């Protein structure tokens, strides 16, 4: 089930809220756990079993490690077994086909049968969550969770189940057992949820239409159209993904949870290093915490640090999808981050801010080209088109299309910056603020519902991860 659907908004959500709030406090996790399973099973009726297995394995591992900590070798063996199962499940369901195909290219004589399995929705997200728990229990930074319902609720919590943010167990352990829902928090949640919903429905979907039109226009788009197209995709992916995170955070608040921020205006960054501190923060944190630092981080000299950066970014790329372009995209950022670490970052601080912005924008916009095209041939011809292989001019029809999206492109640009928020903060009168908030809420609900009704164009980009 996706949040930006009538089914979710006007059926699942009211029923879930009603059930949750009529349940006595003691049993609220159980209610949540049950609706989470329904939510997941809605789209993946059979694969919910896989998630339950993952919950059972990590719950058991946590208990054993927690109880038998003093038997170091045994605890370590259980820990390693749990990690292997986690990575094994993710590897099998997400990467089996990819690994098979790649091996067949490298070693054709092996003739490995390529397994095709349907990718279980959200597996990349919930596997990383369960691993954060097991690793932290092993490192003894969090207490084991004895209650399987509480643990199951953590893993399957529907707001962030499908597309993040990746909530570390450490961050919500306290809230899982002891949370106090309040009307103030609920109201905040409604606002954040509606902001996310509007980002997704009112901007991301439209940007997606423009990108599709220009990309499918092929040679007709010329270099100009190709650049406008990839800019539209740049906006689409940000508003889609950050919109989803906002919706998750907002829904979390409605049930008394506070999740960490996942996006912090990444497109205003002045360096790639800064960009990755602002984009998909929960994923970056995860890799830093569980891969980069354990590998030694920056504490073992520059050479080792560069290798560590390479490993982290190879994995970050691979995490996004079982395809070479994601690895390429990850390594692209790994290399750029290394270059910035060695000298560029110091240089960027000296030059005028505008140039630093332009440099960063070009880097991430071009990065989205690598991210979008899974087919290397298509990627190649699109890159050539960006540099004029099909001429520079755009066809009259596509020009008309681009012109018709100018108001939305401009709003997307403005809403990618903190400017609207700053303007909002300028409203000092409580009455004006109240009027503004309520009108904005009513408008957002009305227009989003209208767009959902009037168009079936509603795919979520982050489903495939």
Partner 1 sequence: MKIKKALKYLPSFIFILCIFTFMILYFVLPKADHSPQEKRNLSAFPETNAQTIIDGKFQRELDTYLSDHIPGRNLFAGIGSFYELLCGQNGSKGIYLGSEGYLFPKPAENKENLLKNAGYISEFAESVDIPVYMTLIPSSGFINSEYLPLNHEVYNDDKLIRSFGDTLSKKVIFKDVTDDFSANWSSKQLYYKTDHHWTSTGAYECYKLLSEPMGYTPVDKKDFTKEIIKDFYGTSYSKSALWTVSPDNIELWSNINQPEDSVKVEITDGNDSKTSDSYFFTERLSEDDKYPVFLDGNHSIVTVTNKAAKGGTLIVVKDSYAHTIVPFLSQNYSKIIMVDLRYYKKDVSAIAQKENAEAVLVLYSLDNLSADNNLAYLF
| Closer Cβ to partner 1, 163 or 452, answer by number | 452
- 204 contributes a contact to partner 1 by CB under 8 A: no
- Please, which residue, 34 or 291, has the CB nearer to partner 1? 34
Our CB check for partner 1 shows the closer of 28 and 320 to be: 28
Alpha helices (H) in 157-263, listed in sequence order: 158-161, 169-177, 183-198, 205-216, 222-254
Residue 43 engages partner 1 in binding (rule: CB under 8 A):
yes
- Closest CB 165 distance from partner 1, rounded Å: 22
Provide, rounded to whole angstroms, the least separation between the CB of residue 3 and partner 1: 12
Q: Which is the catalytic residue, given 153, 320, 326, 372?
A: 320
Among candidate residues 199, 197, 188, the one with its CA nearest the CA of residue 255: 188
Nearest to 236 by CA among 403, 455, 461, 411: 461
CA distance linking residue 276 with residue 289, whole number of Å: 15
Collapsing DSSP to helix, strand or coil, 233 comes out as helix
371 touches 324 (CB < 8 A): no
Alpha-carbon torsion (49, 54, 55, 60), positive or negative: positive
CA dihedral over 328, 244, 260, 167, signed as positive or negative:
negative
Site string for partner 1, 426-445 (x = CB under 8 A): ----x---x--xx--xx--x
Task: Return the half-sphere exposure (C-beta side, CA atoms, 13 A cut-off) of residue 226.
Answer: 24
Are the C-beta atoms of 132 and 286 separated by less than 8 Å?
yes
**Pick 10 or 27: Cβ nearer partner 1:** 10
Q: What is the spatial distance between Cα 397 and Cα 184, in angstroms, rounded to a whole number?
A: 50
Q: How far is the CB of 392 from partner 1 (least distance, A)?
A: 19
Tell me: does residue 190 bind partner 1 (CB under 8 A): yes
Q: Min. distance of Cβ 214 from partner 1 in angstroms?
A: 14
Residue 124 to residue 318: CA distance in whole angstroms:
11
Interface pick for partner 1 out of 52, 81, 101, 191 (rule CB under 8 A) = 191
Q: Is 357 a catalytic residue?
A: no
Q: Is the link from the previous residue into 165 a cis peptide, with omega within 30 of 0?
A: yes
Which residue stretch of 48-56, 187-195, 269-277, 419-427 sits at the interface with partner 1 (rule: CB under 8 A)?
Answer: 187-195
Residues in the interface with partner 1 (CB under 8 A) total: 53
Of 206 and 416, nearer to partner 1 (C-beta) is 206
Q: What share of the chain is helix, strand, coil (3-state, %, to 5)?
A: 75, 0, 25
447 touching partner 1, by CB under 8 A: yes
Q: How far is the CB of 375 from partner 1 (least distance, A)?
A: 25
Q: Where are the beta strands (DSSP E) in 86-188?
A: none
Question: At closest approach, how far in Å is the CB of 380 from partner 1?
Answer: 27
Question: Considering the complex, what minimum distance in angstroms separates the CB of residue 19 from partner 1?
Answer: 13
Whole-angstrom Cα distance, residue 258 to residue 186? Answer: 11
Of the pair 216, 375, the CB lying nearest partner 1 is at 216
Report how far residue 175's alpha carbon sits from residue 107's, in angstroms, rounded to the nearest whole number: 50
CA–CA separation, 210 and 232 (whole Å): 7
DSSP letter, residue 418: S
In angstroms, give the least distance from the CB of 20 to partner 1: 13
7 binds partner 1 (CB under 8 A): yes
Binding status of residue 44 toward partner 1 by CB under 8 A: yes
Site for partner 1 in 206-265 (CB under 8 A): 206
Nearer to partner 1 among residue 264 and residue 437 (C-beta): 437
Contacts of 431 (CB under 8 A, 6+ apart): none
Q: Which of 452, 460, 462, 465 binds partner 1 (CB under 8 A)?
A: 452
Residue from 20, 186, 314, 359 binding partner 1 (CB under 8 A): 186
DSSP letter string over 292-355?
ITTTTTTTTHHHHHHHHHHHHHHHHHHHH-SSHHHHHHHHHHHHHHHHIIIIIHHHHHHS-HHH
- Assess 194 for contact with partner 1 (CB under 8 A): yes
Among positions 13, 50, 291, 365, the unique one binding partner 1 when judged by CB under 8 A: 13
List the x/- string, 384-423, binding to partner 1 by CB under 8 A: ------------xx--xx-xxxxxx---------------
The residues of the shown chain that bind partner 1, judged by CB under 8 A, are: 1, 5-7, 9-11, 13-15, 17-18, 42-46, 183-184, 186-187, 190-191, 194, 202, 206, 396-397, 400-401, 403-408, 430, 434, 437-438, 441-442, 445-447, 449-456
- Catalytic residue positions, numbered: 320
């Amino acid at each position: 089930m996706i949040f930006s659907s009538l089914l979710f908004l006007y059926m699942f959500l009211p029923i879930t809220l009603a059930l949750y709030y009529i349940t006595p406090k003691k049993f609220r996790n159980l209610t949540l756990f049950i609706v989470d399973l329904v939510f997941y099973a809605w789209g993946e009726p059979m694969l919910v079993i896989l998630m339950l297995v993952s919950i059972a394995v990590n719950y058991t591992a946590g208990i054993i490690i927690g109880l038998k900590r003093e038997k170091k070798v045994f605890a370590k063996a259980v820990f390693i077994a749990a990690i292997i199962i986690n990575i094994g499940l993710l590897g099998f369901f997400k990467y089996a086909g990819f690994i098979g195909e790649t091996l067949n290219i490298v070693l054709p004589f092996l003739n490995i049968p390529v397994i095709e399995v349907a990718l279980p929705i959200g597996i990349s997200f919930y596997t990383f969550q369960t691993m954060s728990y097991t690793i932290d229990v092993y490192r003894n930074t969090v207490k084991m969770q004895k209650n399987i319902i509480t643990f199951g609720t953590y893993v399957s919590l529907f707001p962030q189940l499908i597309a993040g943010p990746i909530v570390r167990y450490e961050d919500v352990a306290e809230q899982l057992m002891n949370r106090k829902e309040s009307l103030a928090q609920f109201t905040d949640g409604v606002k954040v949820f509606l902001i996310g919903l509007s980002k997704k429905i009112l901007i991301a979907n439209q940007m997606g239409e423009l990108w599709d039109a220009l990309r499918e226009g092929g040679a007709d788009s010329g270099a100009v159209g190709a650049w406008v197209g990839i800019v539209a995709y740049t906006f689409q992916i940000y508003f889609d993904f950050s919109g989803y995170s906002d919706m998750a955070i907002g829904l979390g608040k409605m049930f008394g949870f506070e999740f960490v921020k996942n996006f912090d205006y990444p497109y205003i960054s002045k360096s790639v290093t800064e960009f990755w501190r602002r984009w998909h923060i929960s994923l970056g944190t995860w890799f830093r915490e569980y891969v980069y630092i354990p590998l030694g981080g920056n504490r073992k000299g520059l050479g080792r640090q560069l290798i560590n950066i390479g490993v982290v970014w190879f994995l970050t790329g691979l995490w996004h999808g079982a395809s070479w372009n994601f690895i390429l995209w990850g390594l692209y950022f790994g290399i750029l981050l290394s270059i910035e670490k060695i000298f560029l970052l110091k240089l960027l601080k000296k030059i005028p801010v505008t140039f630093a912005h332009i440099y960063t924008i070009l880097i991430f916009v071009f990065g989205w080209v690598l991210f979008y095209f899974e087919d290397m041939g298509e990627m190649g011809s699109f890159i050539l088109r960006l540099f004029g292989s099909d001429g520079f001019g755009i066809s009259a029809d596509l020009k008309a299309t681009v012109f018709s999206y100018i108001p939305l492109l401009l709003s997307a640009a403005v809403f990618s910056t903190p400017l609207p928020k700053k303007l909002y903060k300028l409203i000092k009168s409580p009455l004006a603020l109240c009027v503004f908030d309520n009108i904005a809420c009513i408008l957002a609900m009305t227009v989003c519902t209208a767009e959902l009704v009037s168009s079936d164009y509603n795919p979520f980009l982050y489903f495939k991860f």
